[in-house]
Amino acid sequence: MNSEITLERPEIEPINYLNARHGIASWLLTTDHKRIALLYMISLTLMFFVGGFFAILIRLELLTPQGDLVTADTYNKLFTLHGLVMVFFFLIPSVPTVLGNFILPLMIGAKDLAFPRLNLLSWYLYLLGSAFIIWCLATGGLDTGWTFYAPLSTAFSNTQVIKGITGVFIVGFSSILTGLNFITTIHKLRAPGLTWFRLPLFVWTIYATSMIQVLGTPVLAISLTLIAVERVFRVGIFDPTLGGDPILFQHLFWFYSHPAVYIMILPGMGVVSEVIPTFARRPIFGYNFVAYSTFGIAFFSFLVWGHHMFVAGESMYAAMAFSVLSFAVAVPSAIKVFNWTATLYKGSISYDTPMLYSLGFIGLFTIGGMTGLFIASLGVNVHVHDTYFIIAHFHYIMVGGMVMAYFSGLHYWFPKISGRLYPEGWAKLAALIVFVGFNLTFFPQFVLGYMGMPRRYYAYPPEFQVLNVLSTAGASILGVGYILPLIYMIWAWKFGPKAGNNPWGATGLEWTTPSPPPEFNFDITPVVTEPPYNYPTVDDDE
Amino acid sequence: MKVISETTYYIICGSLLVFTVLTYLAALVDLGEWNLVVALIIAAVKGSLIILFFMHARYSSHLTWMVIGAALLWLGILFSLTLSDYLTRIPFASVLIF
Amino acid sequence: MQKAEQFPELQYRDLDQQREAAELGMWIFLTTELLLFGGLFISYAVYRHTYPEVFAEASRHLDTVIGTVNTGILIISSLGMALAVYGAQTAKRKRLLFGLIAAIVFGTAFMVLKGIEYYHHYLNAEFPGLRFDYSVPDAKGKQVFFFLYFAMTGLHAIHLTIGIVLVCIILYLAYRRRFSPDYYTPVENAVLYWHFVDIIWIFLFPLLYLIDVHK
Ligand SMILES: [Cu+2]
């Protein structure tokens, strides 16, 4: 790694966004996108560990075939809250609100987002939504599954459904406002010379993600509102005994919630598209294809939601169409995987921590995506529907893909965010632990699901025990892998060596400004004259 | 932003009111299935007038048009794919024959 | 008293850029609003497909006269808002204030008429959740129709109420001479919002009130 020589006087810390203002109010009322990103990072980490806590309890219960640790009712609440917290309060906001908030304006050479106060409001909405979820679980929890299917959620469940729904509803608006803010920012605040095809791919993916947030989330909001009204006023919009149709709820819910998977994964793909060229020292292969495929994924993601309802009573003709369209999403996703791989070809690769996570992402996302094709086929779906095969499939996407990408991005931009370097040895160790722990946790679940173990039960036949024990063992390893970065990053924030402007020797405007960046990002608005990822090729170096 | 003259606004408002009466009158005629279609077409015309003139979209940037287009496209996706299920269901009774 | 000069916020190059961003943000917001209502419209489509006759029958319980008059009222309120923008753009203060006041008055009139309708439905036991007669024939379909009727017009009424409050604020600012031909973004965005709410009603009117009225 060629670190730049910086002319720093060690005794005087230069003014940056962290030390420019002081006091609690300067944080809680800040409109600085970088500070808001840190606020998000802290609150998201807390919610991540709340969701992780439920995961631990689930895995402990499944250590033995009998239901011994918790009751069946408690188990229902555990998996519901695990899914709800992880999906709505960690995975969906993770990369956009933390890394997107921090890096996006820097990447496009802007001083802030288009609507800084709206950005702060989004964070407060996130907090309010989280408060409802905490209140919900403090007063007894929720047992409908994170999908809130009617009529279970409206007529039968006697848990805190309204509080849970309110929390998700509010955090949905946080998500909408963030998306709106990003789209406007990308359109209006790009630095001079920064044309669309000079944008880093991370910006493209954030844009596509924001589109999904803006276009999909309102439908979730209205369907949750209808659930709440049906439950409170005992009217029938989904309840068949009152004339409603429960399948309609599933349509409305999945219209948002399938694309939501791409809200989670697309920004992760953006991170990987930044990390791979940096550590392979090559421009991304087929920039245009990667950029267009981003929009291809975002668009197709809205055409496939019916694949969640193959066995729910959906018309078989619609099911066929949804099945075919689900296969189509694989095409743009595969384009990305091929392009990343091609970028690596003949690159001078260095295996720093962000790169390790990104390589992990490519492998695990591919497994998750390929198994997605299995379950998009109608016949296989009938066999594995609602089994652990599904659980394993979407955890490969969401945890193996998304969380890996989030960690990759966190490590990649940590020097920019904090101005310090994290301990590389520990970080590599943690990356290895996460990779091993993850596969040990979830690979056995593919097998379990294929053998027929259904999801959402707290007990199972004894012949499934060996694989479940493996999975639980993996989960505890994974837990260690997640706690390690928390520890060494806090340590490095205080004691790590100074990073300098550009520790990775990467391209991109965010690396031209000091680390940590000054309060308004750039003293002089930068002018862009080059394509992105303009790395000298290997031949030039020699 | 372009200034649209007051006269235009009055004309648009007048035609919207005429279309409202027209909607009502059309509903009084028995057109069978087509009553719904006619009502929706008139509503769409009224909506377009409002968007184009009252909301100034006619004089707005391509970007605004893109946003409007995306909104309508996504609404179309929601409708067409949801209805693709409801309109192609085989009635339960005919399944029982098998 | 005209504010001497407006400065853009820090992240913008100039006022034009700031205005464009605000306008784009508003249009995107309206997109989300459209899809919010879209969830209700598709529910309507599905249930009208499921219960065609019951919907037609139930629709006859709505007051077509009030519905039509309300449509006209809302269109005239939209004209008021359009004139307000014209007034702001051309520094014709009276036009601006008059247009805003007209919108508030007609918007409120709409709400009053809507309230009268709701009250009648309550008296006739056609208000699912509060007072609904399940003993009538086809009660299920009728219940779904009236639920959708209240959900759609109710959500619309909430939006209109927000709109009225918004316009009151704009009116106050206009009265304090905060706007000029160089800076009237809040007026413009409130107008966009108002017209959007109007468009929703224009679709609700035939879908709810005019199903097979000829029979
Ligand atoms: Cu899906």
Whether residue A98 contacts residue A37, with contact meaning beta carbons closer than 8 Å, is answered with yes
- Taking each helix axis from N to C end, the angle separating A116-138 and A161-188, rounded to the nearest 10 degrees, works out to 160
CATH number, residue C101:
1.20.120.80
For residues B49 and B3, membership in a common domain is answered with: yes
Residue C2 lies in a domain: no
Whether residue A207 contacts residue A186, with contact meaning beta carbons closer than 8 Å, is answered with yes
* Residue A53 exposure: Cα atoms within 13 Å on the Cβ side: 10
Whether the CB of C185 is below 8 Å from some CB of chain B: the reply is: no
**Sequence-distant (≥ 6) Cβ neighbours of residue A503 within 8 angstroms:** A1, A3, A415, A421, A515
Contacts of B65 in chain C (CB under 8 A): none
DSSP class per residue in A336-390: HHHHHHHHHTT------HHHHHHHHHHHHHHHHHHHHHHHHSHHHHHHHTTBHHH
For residues B8 and B51, membership in a common domain is answered with: yes
- Taking each helix axis from N to C end, the angle separating A353-376 and A404-418, rounded to the nearest 10 degrees, works out to 150
How far from the centroid of its chain's Cα atoms is residue C78's Cα? 10
Q: How confident is the model at residue C16 (pLDDT cuts 50, 70, 90)?
A: confident
| pLDDT tops 80 at residue B59 | yes
For residues B72 and B37, membership in a common domain is answered with: no
Range of the domain at C36: 10-209
Residue C85 lies in a domain: yes
Q: What are A117-134's pLDDT values in tens digits?
A: 999 999 999 999 999 999
Residue C24 lies in a domain: yes
| Min Cα–Cα distance to chain C from B97, Å | 22
- Which of C80, C72, C85, C76 shows the shortest CA–CA distance to C98? C80
- Tell me if A247 and B63 make a contact (CB, 8 A cut-off): no
The total number of structural domains in chain C stands at 1
Q: Is A281 left (phi over 0), alpha (psi -120 to 50) or beta?
A: left
Q: What are C59-77's pLDDT values in tens digits?
A: 999 999 999 999 999 999 9
Question: Of C19, C30, C210, which is closest to B24 when you measure between CB atoms?
Answer: C210
| pLDDT tops 70 at residue C4 | no
**What number is the average pLDDT over the span C120-126?**
92
For residues B66 and B78, membership in a common domain is answered with: yes
* Three-state DSSP string of A160-221: CHHHHHHHHHHHHHHHHHHHHHHHHHHHHCCCCCCCHHHCCHHHHHHHHHHHHHHHHHHHHH
Residue C116 lies in a domain: yes
| Min Cα–Cα distance to chain A from B82, Å | 7
Residue C5 lies in a domain: no
The total number of structural domains in chain B stands at 2
CA of A257 to the centre of ligand 1 (A): 7
**3-state percent helix, strand, coil for chain A, nearest multiple of 5:** 70, 0, 30
The terminus-to-terminus CA distance of chain A in angstroms comes to 17
> CA–CA separation, A59 vs A73, rounded Å?
16
Positions of chain A with pLDDT under 50: 1, 540-542
For residues B7 and B44, membership in a common domain is answered with: yes
Contacts of C202 in chain B (CB under 8 A): 43, 46-47, 50
Q: How confident is the model at residue C203 (pLDDT cuts 50, 70, 90)?
A: very high
pLDDT value at position C129? 86
- So where are chain A's domains? 36-531
> CA–CA separation, A399 vs A87, rounded Å?
11
Range of the domain at B76: 61-98
Query: What residues 69-98 of chain B have any CB closer than 8 A to a CB of chain C?
Result: 70-72, 74-75, 78-79, 82-83, 86-87
Whether residue A276 contacts residue A336, with contact meaning beta carbons closer than 8 Å, is answered with no
Report the DSSP beta bridge partners of residue A498: A420
Residue C53 lies in a domain: yes
pLDDT value at position A435? 96
> CA–CA separation, A101 vs C99, rounded Å?
40
Determine the 3-state secondary structure of A410 from DSSP: helix
Residue in chain B lying closest to A304 (CA):
B81
Determine the 3-state secondary structure of A420 from DSSP: strand
- Burial environment of residue A452 by CB neighbours within 10 A (0 to 12, 13 to 18, 19 or more): middle
pLDDT value at position B94? 55
The terminus-to-terminus CA distance of chain B in angstroms comes to 65
Q: What are phi and psi of A387, to 5 degrees?
A: -110, 180
Q: What was the ipTM of the complex prediction?
A: 0.93
Whether residue A182 contacts residue A96, with contact meaning beta carbons closer than 8 Å, is answered with yes
pLDDT value at position C1? 37
- Mean of the per-residue pLDDT values for chain B? 89
Whether the CB of A194 is below 8 Å from some CB of chain C: the reply is: no
CA of A397 to the centre of ligand 1 (A): 11
pLDDT value at position C2? 44
Question: Of B6, B27, B75, which is closest to C213 when you measure between CB atoms?
Answer: B27
> CA–CA separation, C160 vs B5, rounded Å?
26
- Tell me if C191 and B9 make a contact (CB, 8 A cut-off): no
CATH 1.10.3720.10 given to domain A36-531: no
Q: Which two tokens stand for residue A54?
A: 């439920």
- Tell me if C72 and B39 make a contact (CB, 8 A cut-off): no
